[in-house]
Amino acid sequence: MGVATAPSPPTTSKTLQKQHLEAVGAYQYVLTFLFMGPFFFLLVFVLLFTSLWTFSVVYLVWLYVDWDTPNQGGRRSEWIRNQAIWRQLRDYYPVKLVKTAELPPDQNYVLGAHPHGIMCTGFLCNFSTESNGFSQLFPGLRSWLAVLAGLFYLPVYRDYIMSFGLCPVSRQSLDFILSQPQLGQAVVIMVGGAHEALYSVPGEHCLTLQKRKGFVRLALRHGASLVPVYSFGENDIFRLKAFATGSWQHWCQLTFKKLMGFSPCIFWGRGLFSATSWGLLPFAVPITTVVGRPIPVPQHLRPTEEEVNHYHALYMKALEQLFEEHKESCGVPASTCLTFI
């Protein structure tokens, strides 16, 4: 089939009010991504030592009772996923979703998402909200965005991200989703993870993929088709201070990632009120998320290394082909190639 794209926002000149709303949409996502988790963690802890301690105790009891919910499909809210603020976030860049093939809802899928970028903006917008009409473009599919399991230890924030359909990128969680009797489950995994965020340099396309094979084993255990996904522009919305491999700064980043699960990056965008100053507002660079063709995978409960390597190689080849087919239409120079590490 031909390429299908989610309906784009109007291309007429934006009013000043519209520009402000879009900036608010983009900025609130950045602030939520960076600070909401630590803020509520500290708030619950501090309230324990005040006259409002009962609020923290009640929530902690609830947290204990609800502890396994993230690993059992979470608690998504279509009301949250359809909020107007996500359309403002979409229009700020803008973010587009491109479909290159049908994904029939009579089977399950494991979508490998690349690149991670700094904040996974395109993937959040396209797979965790309905701002680009995922459910209309892929009828019958139910998308799940798998993220760092440690995020679900943060009070209040865990409940917030579960409402988007986010789930822990753990075997227990993903096995639960792909074992559901209702087919059409589409698990989106950012394969490169936090390590790939260290290579989110504008204009570069460096993916951590050569040794990442867990998502292939997952697909084989459940007979779920593999689908390559590439988000052009994801690395371009922030500037990143990249340290040379082998430097002490890079060593510190890797050590921190091993201890905490995520990589500390030095990045910046533009100022909220001035395009010439630095700040945390992302640069308004188009993000185009292209969903590739499915790779059929048989079900083997205990896949061999040969099987894993075979489908991993097929996946890498399909991802590279997807990149080559769409790079020029997404503003990437024809001479640019993917780099796998």
Q: What's the pLDDT at 76?
A: 95
What pTM value is reported for the model?
0.92
Q: What's the pLDDT at 70?
A: 97
What are the C-alpha distances in Å from 251 to residues 206, 242, 268?
19, 12, 21
DSSP letter at 224 equals P
Q: Position of tokens 């074992």?
A: 179
Collapsed DSSP state (helix, strand, coil) of residue 228: strand
Q: What's the pLDDT at 7?
A: 57
Domains of the chain, residue spans: 16-340
Both tokens assigned to 310: 């075979």
Q: What is the pLDDT along the chain (341 residues), one digit of tens a residue?
A: 556 666 555 555 889 999 999 999 999 999 999 999 999 999 999 999 999 999 999 999 999 999 999 999 999 999 999 999 999 999 999 999 999 999 999 999 999 999 999 999 999 999 999 999 999 999 999 999 999 999 999 999 999 999 999 999 999 999 999 999 999 999 999 999 888 988 899 999 999 999 999 999 999 999 999 999 999 999 999 999 888 888 888 888 888 888 877 778 889 999 988 888 899 999 999 999 999 999 999 999 999 999 999 999 999 999 999 999 999 999 999 999 999 99
β-bridge mates for residue 339, sequence order: 206
DSSP letter at 281 equals B
Q: What's the pLDDT at 244?
A: 83
Burial (0-12, 13-18, 19+ Cβ within 10 Å), 259: exposed
Q: HSE of 29 in the Cβ direction (CA atoms, 13 Å)?
A: 27
Both tokens assigned to 289: 């998320």
Q: What's the pLDDT at 33?
A: 95
Both tokens assigned to 175: 């096995």
What are the C-alpha distances in Å from 120 to residues 15, 67, 75, 314?
28, 25, 21, 25
Q: What's the pLDDT at 5?
A: 66
β-bridge mates for residue 121, sequence order: none
The beta strand positions in the chain, using DSSP E, are 4-5, 95-99, 109-114, 142-147, 166-168, 185-190, 206-207, 225-232, 239-240, 267-270, 278-279, 287-291, 339-340
β-bridge mates for residue 267, sequence order: 240
Q: For the domain covering 16-340, report its CATH number.
A: 3.40.1130
Both tokens assigned to 308: 């894993």
Cα–Cα–Cα angle for 237, 238, 240, nearest 5°? 145
DSSP letter at 226 equals E
In terms of Cα–Cα distance, which of 268, 116, 141, 133 is closest to 194?
Answer: 116
Cα dihedral 23, 25, 27, 28 sign? positive
Contact 213, 307 (CB under 8 A): no
What are the C-alpha distances in Å from 71 to residues 41, 108, 299, 309?
20, 18, 22, 28
Collapsed DSSP state (helix, strand, coil) of residue 322: helix
Q: Position of tokens 């965020």?
A: 197
Strands 95-99 and 206-207: unpaired
Contact 9, 93 (CB under 8 A): no
Q: Is the bond preceding 70 in cis, omega lying within 30 degrees of 0?
A: no
266-284: string of b/e by CB count within 10 Å (b at 16+)?
ebbbbeeeeeeeeebbbbb
Q: What's the pLDDT at 259?
A: 80
